[in-house]
Amino acid sequence: MSQKEITIYDIAEKLAISAATVSRALQNHPAVNAKTKKRIVDLANELGYQSNKFASNLRKQKTHTIGVIVPRLNSAFMSTVLSGIEKVANNAGYNLIISQSFETHDKEAQNAQTMFNNRVDALVISLAYDTKDYKHLNSFIKKKIPIIFFDRVADKIDATKVLIDNFKAGYQATEHLIQQGCKEILHITGNLSRNVYNDRFEGYKKALEDNGIKYDQKLLICNDLSEKAIEDCLKNDVLKRTKLPDGLFITSDPSAAYALTILKEAGVKVPQDMAIIGFNNDLISRVCEPAISTINYPGNQMGETIARILINHLNGESDINYMNTVILKTDLIVRNSSLKKK
Amino acid sequence: MSQKEITIYDIAEKLAISAATVSRALQNHPAVNAKTKKRIVDLANELGYQSNKFASNLRKQKTHTIGVIVPRLNSAFMSTVLSGIEKVANNAGYNLIISQSFETHDKEAQNAQTMFNNRVDALVISLAYDTKDYKHLNSFIKKKIPIIFFDRVADKIDATKVLIDNFKAGYQATEHLIQQGCKEILHITGNLSRNVYNDRFEGYKKALEDNGIKYDQKLLICNDLSEKAIEDCLKNDVLKRTKLPDGLFITSDPSAAYALTILKEAGVKVPQDMAIIGFNNDLISRVCEPAISTINYPGNQMGETIARILINHLNGESDINYMNTVILKTDLIVRNSSLKKK
DNA sequence: TTGTAGGCGTTATCAC
DNA sequence: GTGATAACGCCTACAA
């Protein structure tokens, strides 16, 4: 199938020198005569020589590859994070192997295994919905391959985490709705066994409590935040209630936008009947009518931060083990969907 | 840094057999005694043995890795395609190395080089805005490494392409606006040197022509479709014109949504004053008010198709060289943003 | 400044 | 069924 590869030996032979010198020249090793080097580099270009990473990696025990496992590739937030990671990593000469867990532990474990076999220099991971134990990461820990968790992190594991203050964000969002006069705030969110959703929920509860509102379990809906789930819980549950909530804190912008559409269809006025606040500050929140209030979540910056920490560590410029948790800043963004008072 | 690796030799030694047998057992080679195999597999698990892909790849000259180069990671469309590719590829035991060209030829070439050095088994690529020559892909062609272009394809190169009928889609979109009574249809789109935008533009022109409307160059705006560009061209140009166009065909949904927001802000009534149609059928087009008409572009299916073609080829089940172009089906989706007549 | 030689971990070929 | 052995292409002590 493939043509004969051109190797450093071919170059060495044609130039009647040793492969070692060729290898050195191609790596810009200082101890090599400038002229010899030029001859080597020129010939390499002429022959279209391409270094074989496998041989090199095999030899050097380093791959310049970072593995990334995410629940799903196709969300605005995730692709922003990935874009940030890729940018920094690529500039530093690192490659990215990306795979999706599709929100299941098994696929996540399987992907981790593959990453491990591929000897990634580091692993970046945002956990699946149903991941509860972290055995599948043990091989990395044993071999001291750095792991960075982001967004959906593992509480019980002692590793570097990059995330936002979900409690605070949840608190802020809820508090804002309360300040706008909401008394019964519906909270639609994801699986509470994941830190992101749990912390936001705790923030929600605390904000209620601090404002003298009793938490009502009927106002909590957990699902996978898919369009189907949103449609289902609104049409078959919320909209059928005798008393409609007057506020909605829903933890993703696409879901918020979709919920808004359904509510409007059903004749609910936003924000008058129900004030809405989302999460993430995706473009989608800005183009709805009314525009949706949200929490700004800097995905791109998160990605860049992750990559930078990793690369500094891999280059030995800093030690990841001293950096336990990085919290990125979020902001409350108020738009018309939640402005009952003007 | 890393602990000692466990190799097939370690296993062989402990079991007092040869490494060759261990290797065979671990690959399910038929010619190995069931009992020996069990002993080997058990010990391998116990020791936490992990096959070293580099050594294996080096030896087998095959990497089970597919390189993917896209203009940008962070678009709804792109992440859907990637998600599709990843799903199929991963199930078939292939890994994905993904990188972004950030719409520049240079980065694209550099990424292609890296992919090549990593000896990817195949390359999947959607071209950058300013890529005009394809020298950077020559090494792949020479070595007969399959390349699949998708979405933004190269006309001049003889390779497999997966795309939609952009001409037809552009025609349909425009025709629809005309049928709704539009006479002056603004077309906001990307760089016309890219097939996707050029073909849609040609479709647009042809639809005008077929309906007796003269093409007016003032109604064509090309930019990078970023929020900034959209805002700029609308506020500083279109909205200042003495006569506003009565239709808008804009070739991406996020841009359409953003344009809609700006137009509404400026007091333009949609669809009465201006009918709008976008492209892609992203969620964003559905949650706007009015919901935006668009062309359904099956990104996920495109991704899966790409991966499937590639994998069939790599497995020798079919030959990619006989498959030149795959055109996926698109549909016109009519929503309120373009419905002048009811 | 350059060359020699050994090994990174796996797999394929050949014997037995 | 199993074992020796020779690559795969590169890198790096060490020697010259």
Cβ contacts of residue B314 below 8 Å, gap of 6+? B94, B121, B122, B146
Q: Is A98 among the domain residues?
A: yes
Report CB contact under 8 Å: A58, B63. Answer: no
Task: Tell me the shortest Cα–Cα distance from A192 to chain B, in angstroms.
Answer: 25
Sequence letter at residue B261: T
Residue B89 — pLDDT band, cuts 50, 70, 90? very high
- Tell whether B173 and B260 lie within a shared domain: yes
CB B330 within 8 A of CB B324: no
Quote the domain boundaries for residue A29.
8-51
The span from the CA of B34 to the CA of A190, in Å, is 47
pLDDT score at A291? 96
Low-confidence ranges of chain A (pLDDT < 70): 1-4, 323, 342
- Tell whether A155 and A182 lie within a shared domain: no
Q: Is B39 among the domain residues?
A: yes
- Tell whether B212 and B122 lie within a shared domain: no
- Tell whether B265 and B317 lie within a shared domain: no
Q: What is residue A50's DSSP assignment? A: -
Per-residue pLDDT of B176-218, as tens digits, reads 999 999 999 999 999 999 999 999 999 999 999 999 999 999 9
Burial degree of B43 (CB within 10 A; 0-12, 13-18, 19+): middle
pLDDT score at B342? 67
Which residues on B lie below 8 Å from A97 (Cβ)? 65, 95-97
Task: Tell me the shortest Cα–Cα distance from A209 to chain B, in angstroms.
Answer: 33
Q: Is A303 among the domain residues?
A: yes
CB B69 within 8 A of CB B96: no
User: Does the structure show a pLDDT above 70 at B161?
Assistant: yes
pLDDT score at B2? 39
- Read off the tokens for B150: 């998708």
pLDDT score at B1? 33
Indicate the average pLDDT of chain B: 92
- Tell whether A213 and A203 lie within a shared domain: yes
- Tell whether A275 and A182 lie within a shared domain: yes
| pTM, full prediction | 0.89
pLDDT score at A342? 67
Cβ contacts of residue A299 below 8 Å, gap of 6+? A77, A78, A80, A81, A84, A280
Per-residue pLDDT of B123-153, as tens digits, reads 999 999 889 889 999 888 888 889 999 999 9
Q: Is A289 among the domain residues?
A: yes
pLDDT score at A4? 64
B284, B286, B315, B319, best to mutate vs chain A, most A CBs in 10 Å: B284
Phi-psi domain of A166 (left: phi exceeds 0; alpha: psi -120 through 50; beta: other): alpha
- Tell whether B170 and B288 lie within a shared domain: yes
Q: Is B135 among the domain residues?
A: yes
Per-residue pLDDT of A175-199, as tens digits, reads 999 999 999 999 999 999 999 999 9
Element (H, E) at B173: helix B166-179
- Tell whether A37 and A70 lie within a shared domain: no
Q: Is B57 among the domain residues?
A: no
Report CB contact under 8 Å: A96, B100. Answer: no
Q: Is B86 on the interface with A (CB under 8 A)?
A: yes
Q: Is A74 on the interface with B (CB under 8 A)?
A: yes
pLDDT score at A1? 33
Per-residue pLDDT of B211-270, as tens digits, reads 999 999 999 999 999 999 999 999 999 999 999 999 999 999 999 999 999 999 999 999
Q: What is residue B317's DSSP assignment? A: S
* Percentage with pLDDT > 70 across chain B: 98
pLDDT score at A207? 98
Mean per-residue pLDDT, B50-79: 90
CATH of the domain at A263: 3.40.50.2300
Burial degree of B247 (CB within 10 A; 0-12, 13-18, 19+): buried
The span from the CA of A251 to the CA of A197, in Å, is 8
Report CB contact under 8 Å: A119, B52. Answer: yes
* Percentage with pLDDT > 90 across chain B: 69
Nucleotide nearest to A33 (CA to C1'): C1
Q: Within 7 Å: CB of A58 and strand D? A: yes
Which residue, counting CA atoms, is nearest to the C1' of nucleotide C11? Answer: B59
Indicate the average pLDDT of chain A: 92
- Tell whether A170 and A264 lie within a shared domain: yes
Q: Is B77 on the interface with A (CB under 8 A)?
A: no
- Tell whether B195 and B288 lie within a shared domain: yes
- Tell whether B175 and B272 lie within a shared domain: yes
- Tell whether B272 and B208 lie within a shared domain: yes
Cβ contacts of residue B284 below 8 Å, gap of 6+? A257, A283, A284, A287, B76, B253, B254, B257, B292
Residue B21 — pLDDT band, cuts 50, 70, 90? very high
CATH of the domain at B42: 1.10.260.40
- The closest alpha carbon to B276, from B182, B207, B204, belongs to B182
Burial degree of A3 (CB within 10 A; 0-12, 13-18, 19+): exposed
Number of independent structural domains in chain B: 3
- Read off the tokens for B300: 């996920």
Q: Which nucleotides of strand D lie under 7 Å from a protein CB?
A: 1-5, 7-13
Q: Is B290 among the domain residues?
A: yes
Q: Is B328 on the interface with A (CB under 8 A)?
A: no
Nearest-by-CA chain B residue for A113: B50
Mean per-residue pLDDT, B41-60: 88
